[in-house]
Amino acid sequence: MTLNDAVARRHTVKAFSAGKTLPQQEIDTLLNLLRNSPSSVNSQPWHFVVASTAEGREKMAQSTSGAFIYNNPKVLNASHVIALCMRTDLDEAHLQNVLAQEEKDGRFAKPEAKAGQDKSRRSYVDMHRYELRDVPQWMEKQVYLALGGLLLGAAMLGIDATPMEGFDARALDQALGLREQGFTSVVLVSLGYRSEEDFNATLPKSRLSQDEIFTFI
């Protein structure tokens, strides 16, 4: 499948075929994609909770009741559901952990390179913490970078996917114990096989024209 084919085929699935499970190899590929997602100054301010069992999906589904009940079947009937979460803060422990991993992975040829990377990353963190005062929004942007890659990767593998902001973040955080771990949920993605009830599969894509969205200079 070419990239153009995947982009044309990809759509937001409205109904999944229950009881069908994606191959673990494909899931592992998507998890590797998430792990290697880009982030500003390699801050990696995320955590991903993967529900691969009926029990796990039921726990996720606790956040899709009431006003969000329309998303409940998309969680329960999917093969896998991933909660993309962000940190509640870029604290000292996380900054040190990222730096240590970079050193372990051989990112620094000289000690001054390590010091330079640490200084650069901290300067961005401080800018967003003090001048811009938007650390949560900045971290959330990084999570959405990961989301975009996940959706495109799923499309390339022929996996049906549904991104969802329609859920109760507080309920999901409580169900998964996220806040006690220093995280909060941002967006859900269901993965699996679309069912015959997926009306969106037969509808044409609708996007603004190229002339309206591109400016060439």
Marked catalytic residue, from 20, 165, 197, 205: 165
* Distance between CA atoms of residues 133 and 8, nearest Å: 39
Cβ–Cβ under 8 Å, residues 17 and 192: yes
How far is it, in rounded angstroms, from Cα 84 to Cα 144? 9
Rounded distance, CA 114 to CA 212, Å?
A: 44
What count of Cα atoms within 13 Å lies in the side-chain half-sphere of residue 53? 3
In what order do the strands lie in the sheet containing 160-164? 46-51, 80-87, 183-192, 160-164
**Known active-site residue 165:** yes
Tokens coding 209: 């024209």
Report residue 181 as tokens: 């771990």
3-state secondary structure 3-31: HHHHHHHCCECCCECCCCCCCHHHHHHHH
Catalytic residues: 14, 74, 165
